[in-house]
Amino acid sequence: MDLKALEAMIRDVPDFPKPGILFKDITPLLQDGAAFAAVIDLFAERYRDRGIEQVVGVEARGFVFAAALAKTIGAGLALVRKPGKLPYQTISERYALEYGTDCLELHEDAFAQHQRALIVDDLLATGGTAAATAALVEKAGGQVVEIAFLIELAFLQGRQRLAQYPVQSWLVY
């Protein structure tokens, strides 16, 4: 399945989660077994031989891609979540939003020193979540090899916020 076919499966939902936002809904793609497999294959082809030891899934849609990819390339899986969702001792990272701040957490023992990590999420918008995730990985002792997204909203310039890391996205709007 090629990128145009995958892109055609992504549904635009206007005014979600609030007026003025055009949400890129990946659920039709996930519901199609061949399409979902094709996305995981895209990721796996790029990362299979890159020495990735941990795939980091970002809550919540990033979990879907990260778990399948980790299994496919034989890596571990680390989860980055909103505060209070992880059961063990955590480290946290606050980051700025357009109005206010938010916070993400990671288990403090998620990485061995210098363990090679790939951060995976469904969509790159402003880059705040990805930048906070990268900071958490590094605080925990991991080394960010790359940050990967299925979709990038280039007009929001999130890639610039992640300039110190290699970034990969397959569908750019």
CA distances from 20 to 13, 23, 41 (A): 11, 10, 33
Cα–Cα dist 41/86, whole Å: 29
User: Environment class of residue 119 by beta-carbon count within 10 Å: exposed (0-12), middle (13-18) or buried (19+)?
Assistant: buried
Q: Would you call 61 a catalytic residue per the annotation? A: yes
**What residue type is assigned to position 165 of the chain?**
Y
CB 43 within 8 A of CB 120: yes
Please indicate whether residue 98 is annotated as part of the active site. yes
**Catalytic one of 46, 61, 81, 116:** 61
Strands (E), the chain: 11-14, 22-25, 54-58, 76-80, 90-96, 101-107, 116-124, 143-152, 167-172
Kindly list the catalytic residues. Answer: 61, 98
